[in-house]
């Protein structure tokens, strides 16, 4: 039995490491075929020894028994939406409104991020293990999609390293990379099956499957963009928090940068817009967030959106009329 146990542990460790290299470091060291071979061996081993199968085992990536319905999850900390700016003038006004509110002539440092065109989700890790995943829903209540999210190889089932809060809620975007979207649609078209209009709809449709084996067959990925529960145990910089999440094994867009003032945000906006068509994922704008958490808390929220953050949306991309 011990060699079964040690082989099971070894397979789990290898699959976790290869998944991390591929999805978080974007630096795979083995071909996909090797990952798939190890996964097949793990699944076969757990069929013979079902007691070894746990929610932390990489074998959950292939999905399991379908649900009859989704249950609802109440977000302990509401998941809010974002106000928008559409021009440089509105961006300056956004910054000035915060100065007025704080009654201080502050030079803000902003954490600037691409605004991915996917589905916002909340991931709850308890003692480093992924125990619950939920959609944003209406911001107060979302759908519980834990089994589906467990099939997304970019999302760690167990956090890496140490020092994380006992309860850590990671917020971010589940998305379908452009290449995966095109390949999936080409296959669906060839098979006379339903094709999706765009990667966002494909990601939403794939996540809302009651059968997680269907979700597992879809090329979904994830980028973290914030922290909910447990954030108060992390530092006073949003950017540092995001990089801490990356150290714990969560993927972070390589485009996330710190910029000074509205001018820095505008430069970030112009750079991402210029490279929009080369990015491997679809975005509908960029997001600027005051990096200092204490200032975020002093600024608070207006209705459902924070005073301390805004999206800067791009014009809708012209659809090619073939």
Ligand X SMILES: Cc1c[n+]2nc(N)[nH]c2nc1OC(C)C
Residue set of the binding site? 32-36, 81-82, 113, 136, 173, 289, 313
Span interacting with ligand X, options 76-84, 192-200, 237-245, 273-281, rule CB under 6 A: 76-84
Which one, 120 or 245, has the nearer CB to ligand X?
Answer: 120
Q: Residue 261: left if φ>0, alpha if ψ -120 to 50, beta else—which one? A: left
Does 227 engage in binding with ligand X (CB under 6 A)? Answer: no
**Is 285:292 a contact under the CB 8 Å cutoff?**
no
Rounded least distance, CB 194 to ligand X, Å: 28
Please list every residue from 186 through 225 that binds ligand X, using CB under 6 A: 225
Does 111 engage in binding with ligand X (CB under 6 A)? Answer: no
Catalytic residue list contains 115: yes
Does 309 engage in binding with ligand X (CB under 6 A)? Answer: yes
Among 61, 75, 115, 307, binds ligand X (CB under 6 A): 115
Please give the full DSSP string across 81-135, using - where no structure is assigned.
---EE-SHHHHHHHHHHHHHHHTS----EEEEEEEESSEEEEEEEETTEEEEEEE
Of 235, 175, 179, 246, the closest CA to residue 205 belongs to 175
Among 141, 178, 306, 313, binds ligand X (CB under 6 A): 306
Of 36, 28, 32, 29, the closest CA to residue 11 belongs to 36
C-alpha pair distances (Å), 285 with each of 115, 163, 199, 256, 274: 5, 33, 15, 13, 12
Q: Which one from 53, 103, 115, 257 is the annotated catalytic residue? A: 115
Please list every residue from 272 through 291 that binds ligand X, using CB under 6 A: 287, 289
Q: Which residues are annotated as a binding site for NAD(+)?
A: 32-36, 81-82, 113, 136, 173, 289, 313
Sequence-ordered list of residues with C-beta below 8 angstroms from that of 61, at least 6 positions apart, any chain: 39, 150, 151, 153, 216
Report CA 113 to chain centroid distance, whole Å.
12
Does 139 engage in binding with ligand X (CB under 6 A)? Answer: no
Rounded least distance, CB 161 to ligand X, Å: 23
Which one, 20 or 75, has the nearer CB to ligand X?
Answer: 75
By CB under 6 A, name the binding residues for ligand X.
80-82, 113, 115, 120, 225-226, 287, 289, 306, 309
Active site residues: 115
């Amino acid at each position: 039995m011990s060699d079964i146990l040690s082989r099971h542990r070894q397979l789990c460790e290898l699959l976790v490491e290869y998944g991390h290299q591929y999805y978080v470091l974007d630096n795979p060291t083995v071909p996909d075929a090797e990952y798939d071979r190890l996964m097949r061996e793990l699944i076969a081993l757990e069929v013979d020894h079902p007691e070894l199968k746990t929610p932390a085992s990489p074998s959950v990536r292939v999905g399991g028994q379908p649900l009859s319905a989704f249950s609802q999850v109440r977000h302990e900390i509401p998941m809010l939406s974002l106000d928008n700016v559409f021009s440089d003038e509105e961006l300056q006004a956004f910054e000035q409104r915060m100065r007025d509110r704080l009654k201080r002539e502050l030079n803000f440092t902003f954490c600037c991020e691409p605004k991915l065109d996917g589905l916002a989700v909340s991931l709850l890790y308890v003692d480093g293990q992924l125990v619950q995943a939920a959609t944003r829903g209406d911001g107060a209540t979302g759908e519980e999609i834990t089994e589906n999210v467990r099939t997304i190889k970019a999302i760690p089932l167990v956090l890496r390293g140490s020092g994380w809060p006992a309860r850590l809620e990671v917020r971010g975007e589940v998305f379908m990379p452009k290449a995966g979207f095109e390949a999936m649609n080409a296959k669906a078209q060839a098979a006379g099956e339903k094709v999706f209009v765009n990667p966002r709809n494909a990601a939403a449709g794939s996540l809302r499957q009651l059968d997680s084996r269907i979700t597992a067959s879809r090329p979904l990925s994830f980028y973290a963009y914030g922290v909910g529960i447990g954030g108060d145990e992390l530092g006073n910089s949003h950017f540092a928090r995001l990089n801490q999440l990356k150290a714990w094994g969560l993927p972070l867009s390589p485009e996330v940068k710190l910029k000074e003032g509205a001018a820095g945000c505008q430069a970030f906006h112009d750079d991402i817009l210029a490279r929009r068509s080369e990015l491997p994922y679809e975005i509908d704008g960029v997001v600027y967030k005051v990096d200092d958490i204490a200032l975020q808390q002093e600024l608070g929220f207006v209705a459902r959106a924070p005073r301390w953050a805004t999206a800067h949306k791009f014009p809708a991309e012209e659809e090619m009329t073939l």
